[in-house]
Structure 1
C-alpha cells in the first residue's frame, strides 16, 4: 500500500501472538558521508524526543503503554544501508480499552520522528555527546572482538568498492568527526529522501493505520537503491590471518561466486553452504574441527548480495598450512559430489 511515492505500508495480519509489531525501515545508499550520522541518529531516536527529553521519561512513557518496546537497529544488504525503528506492544484485543494502543504507539513514533530532541538545527548537544560516547565505546569494543576485526580485514581485501568495506555501524574515525549539527542534517535528509517501508505484523485495522500514517505528511521521494553488488569475477582466494594471544590465530578465506539473489543458483548455494560449513554436521566442522582437531571453531557463510563466500576458523597459527589444505579438500569433495544422500537431506531439513 503506497502512502506517497517512496513510502509504503506492508501488513502481515496474524492473531498467533499477543503482541503487535511495527518496523519502520529507512533505506538509502551506503555512503561514507552519511553512515556515521545514521548510526548516531539511531542512538538518539531510541533514547529521547522533545516530549520525553530524558532516557528515564522516555522509558517511563513506554512502561505506561503496557510495557511497550521502542528500539532501533542497523543493517545492510549489498549497497543499501537500513535504519530500522522497531516497536512492539500488546494487542488491543487484550486490553480493557479497545483500539487505543496502536494509535498511541503511532503517536509516540510520530513524536520521535518529527519532534526529536533538538533546537531545530541540531540534536540536543548534551544528549548527543552522551550517545556519541556510547557509540564510540561500542565500536571500540567491536574492534577488540578478534572475529569482527578479522571480518573487516577480509572485506578490505575482497571488495573493490570502498562502500562495500564500510561496516553497517560505521567506524570510530567517522563517528568521531560527527557533530550534533551534522547528524541532525543526516536525520532530516533521511526523513525527506530515504525510501520508507512500514511493516505491521499482528492484528491491525489497515484503514485506520493508513489514515494515521497519512497524517505524518511524508513528502514524495525517489531513492534509487541497488541491492546487488557485482565486481569483476576473480577465482583468486583472498586470505587474512589475524594473530591473537600466544599461538591462537583467526584465519579467514574469501571466495567469489557469481550467483545472485533469486536466480537459479541461489537455492543450490544455500544447500552448498550448509554442506560445507553452515551446520554441526557440515564437512568443515566434522573433518577439520572434530576429526583433525585443527580448529576450535570453524564455519562458513555467504552474502548473496555481494558474491562473497567466507570461511573462518580459530586455529593454532602453526597449523595454518595444514588447515588451509584440509579446507580446500572439503571444497574439492563438494565439487566432485562426494557427499551422501543422508547429508544432503539433513542439510535441506536444517
Structure 2
C-alpha cells in the first residue's frame, strides 16, 4: 500500500495561522502555525498563549544575532520557517545558501530559538552537500567567494589562481581568479583572512554539532594545504585550530582524527630522491595540480626540496612529497577508522 506523503495539513497547515511573528523592517507579521513550530523550536513551545483566542505574537524585533548590529531580518526568519515546514510539507524546500556567509544568520537564528537537532542537522547537511559551496573572504576592499570543492587555490607570483579537478577523462586545468595587479597588495594578509573564516566556521559547526559540515570544512583545510608554499592557507593554518574549535569539535571527528593519526602518521619516514620519476594521478587533487587526467601517468623529474623532501616535477609544476613506511593502504585505513569510530559511538 502506498503511504500518503506527510504535509503540514496534518498539524494544522490547512487551518488559519495562530502565530504572528513580528520582525524588524516589516509592518505585517509573518503568519505561522504554532502547533507546527512548537515541534521544532523550544522557544515557540514556551510562548504563552493568548486567552482570548487571538494569534499568539512572537516578537523578534529585538533579536540581534551574534556578530550582527541589526535585528534579525525578515528574510532570515522566512528561511527558518521554510526549514521547519519542510520537515512536514513536501512543497516547502529546505534552504541551502550557496555561500557560508549567507548561511550564517540562518544557523544563528536556528540556534537562538532552540531549534530541534533534526532541523539543524538537515540545514548543515544541505550546506555540506552543495557542490558550489563558497567561503567569503574579505581583505580591505577585496572580497571573494572561494568555492570550496573541486579546487586548489594558490598564490602564484602575486596573483591568486586555482586549479580545477578533472571530470571524466578530461585533465585538470589552471585558471586566474585575481590578477597580480589587484591581488599583490593583499597577498600577505590573505592567508590569515582565510584561516580566520575557516576557524569561525569550524567553531560554529562544532558548537551546533553539524558533523557533515565540520567534516567538509576539515576536508577544505587538508586540500588547501596540498600546494605547500603556494597554498593560500599554509602560512596561517595554525590559527585554524583554536582552543574553541578543538573544544567544540564533534566527538565523531575527534575519534576519526585520533585513529587516523595512529594509522597514517608513523615514525618511519623516508625521503625518496631520484632523477627520473613516473607520477600516477591517483587522486583528483593530484590530477588538478599537475593538469593531467585522473589515473594517468606522467614522466617527470625529482628535485630536492629545501626541507629535504623530494619534489616530483612535471614541467614547472611540483610539490614536496612526504613518504611514510608501512602501515595500511588508504582504503584499509579508511575502513579501520570507520569501524573503530562506529563502535565507539555505539557505546556512548
Q: TM-score range by the shorter chain?
A: under 0.3
Higher strand fraction (1 or 2)? 1
Give the structure-2-normalised TM-score. 0.22
Larger relative CO (CA 8 A, sep 6+): 1 or 2?
Answer: 1
TM-score, normalised to structure 1, is 0.22
* Larger of the two Rg values belongs to structure: 2
